[in-house]
Amino acid sequence: MQYDIITFGSATQDVFMSSRKLEVVEDEKFATKKGLCISLGSKMHMDDVLFAMGGCGANSAATFAKQGLKTAYYGMIGKDGFGEEVKKELKKHNVSLDLMQESDKFPTAFSVILSLPEVGRSILEKYGACHELTNKDIPFDELKADWFYIASLSSKSHEMFVPLIDFAKENNIKVASNPAGSIKTPEHTEILKSVLNKIDILILNQEESSKLTGIDFNKEKEIFQKLDEWVDGIVVMNKGARGVTVSDGKNLYSAGIPESGLVDRTGAGDSFGSAFVSGYIEKNDIAYAIQLGTANATSCLQKMGATNGLLKKGEWGPWEKVEVSKKRL
C-alpha cells in the first residue's frame, strides 16, 4: 500500500499522575539542579490520573493522520493490555496499523509522567517492544511512501536509523527526522552526522542543536552556520517557550509562540515537528509550516496526554497565527 508518510519511533502506554503535593527540591545532584520529590516511604494523594498513548513515533503519526495525510506507523508493541490500548488510540486517529508488529517476547513500552501543575513534570520510562526492533526486522518491500518521518530511535532500534535513510534516498522518498535519540551517545552522534546530508527536514531543539554541533547553546547564528554546512535541506530549531527558528540555507525564519494556558508539556515537541512537516508537505512554505506547527503544539499543551489536544486539518485553535519574520543569512 502507498502512503503519504510512514512514521518510525516509539509507541508507549503513558500514565499521567498529577499532584499539587509534589515538592520541588533544589540540589546539585540533579542534572537540572531541581528535583520533583515525594518523601521516602510516604504515600501521596494524586489529584488527577490519566492513561493515554505516547511515544514519539505514535504521537507523530496521530498528527499526520489528523492533518489529512494517509499515514502508517511502523514499530512494535507487546501482545498485552497496554499494546491493545495503543492500537485502539492509533485506530481512533485513522493511522494504519498494517506495518505494526507485535511481540510475544517484549512488553509494550511504558512511561509514568509525574507533574506538579503549573510548575513542571518528570518522566519515568521503561523501554519495551518498540526499542527492540533492528534493521533486520524492517519490511523494506512494504515501505511505500512519499515521506518518512523518523523520530527518536533509542536502544537497539537505533540500528534502523541509517538503513531507513539509505533506503529512502535510493527510492526517492523524502526524509524528515527529529533524531533526539541519536544525540544520546558520542557513537550515535557520529552516525547521525554521517547521514545529515540525506535528511530533507532536520528537527532539533536548541539543546540538541548545541550538543550536535559542539557550539555554545546561546550562539544560535554559529549553530545554524554549522548545521547548514552539514544539511542540504531545512533545519528546524525548536526553542520551546522562545519559539522557533528555521533555516533553508539561504534565509532564517523566526517566530514566537502565542499566549496560552498550560496543562501539560508532554508531546509538545512531537506535535510541533509533525505539524511543521504536515504544513510543509501541504504548501511547500516554511512560514506556513511554522504557523501550523506552533498552533498544533500550543493546542497540545492545553490537555493532558500527547495526542488529546491535537488539531484536525483546517483547525487553528483560538489563537492568532504567529507572525513569522524572514531575514537573509
Q: In terms of CATH architecture, what is 2-22+47-328?
A: 3-Layer(aba) Sandwich (3.40)
Domain boundaries, the chain: 2-22+47-328
In this predicted structure, what is the pLDDT of residue 162? 96
pLDDT exceeds 80 at position 86: yes
**What are the cell numbers at 329?**
543569512
In this predicted structure, what is the pLDDT of residue 9? 96
Going from the C-alpha of 3 to that of each of 6, 95, 139, 142, 283, the distances in angstroms are 7, 11, 15, 10, 18
Give the three-class secondary structure for 254. strand
Strands 34-37 and 23-26: antiparallel
Q: Return the percentage of the chain with pLDDT > 70, whole number.
A: 100
Q: How confident is the model at residue 262 (pLDDT cuts 50, 70, 90)?
A: confident
Q: How confident is the model at residue 258 (pLDDT cuts 50, 70, 90)?
A: very high
Average pLDDT for 100-120:
94
Read off the pLDDT of residues 217-226 as tens digits, 9 standing for 90 and up: 889 989 999 9
What is the distance between the alpha carbons of residues 276 and 189, in angstroms, rounded to a whole number? Answer: 24
Say if CB 302 and CB 310 are below 8 A apart. Answer: no
In this predicted structure, what is the pLDDT of residue 180? 85
Q: How confident is the model at residue 175 (pLDDT cuts 50, 70, 90)?
A: very high
**What are the cell numbers at 208?**
540538541
In this predicted structure, what is the pLDDT of residue 186? 85
Average pLDDT for 124-132:
96
Average pLDDT for 40-63:
95
Give the three-class secondary structure for 145. strand
Query: Average pLDDT over the chain, rounded to whole?
Result: 94
What is the distance between the alpha carbons of residues 121 and 264, in angstroms, rounded to a whole number? Answer: 8
Q: How confident is the model at residue 48 (pLDDT cuts 50, 70, 90)?
A: very high
What is the distance between the alpha carbons of residues 68 and 89, in angstroms, rounded to a whole number? Answer: 17
In this predicted structure, what is the pLDDT of residue 193? 93
Strand runs (DSSP E) across the chain, as ranges?
A: 2-8, 12-18, 23-26, 34-37, 48-54, 71-74, 76-78, 101-103, 109-116, 120-126, 144-150, 174-177, 201-205, 234-238, 244-247, 251-255, 325-328
117 vs 270, which has greater pLDDT? 270
Q: What is the CA radius of gyration of the chain?
A: 19
Report the b/e string of 33-59 with b at 16+ CB within 10 A.
Answer: eeebeeeeeeeeeeeeeeebbbbbbbb
Average pLDDT for 126-136:
96
Q: How confident is the model at residue 120 (pLDDT cuts 50, 70, 90)?
A: confident
pLDDT exceeds 90 at position 161: yes
Whole-model pTM: value is: 0.95
Average pLDDT for 123-149:
96
Average pLDDT for 157-172:
96
In this predicted structure, what is the pLDDT of residue 6? 98
Read off the pLDDT of residues 6-45 as tens digits, 9 standing for 90 and up: 999 999 999 999 999 999 999 999 888 999 999 999 999 9
Written as one letter, the residue type at 262 is: L
Q: How confident is the model at residue 172 (pLDDT cuts 50, 70, 90)?
A: very high
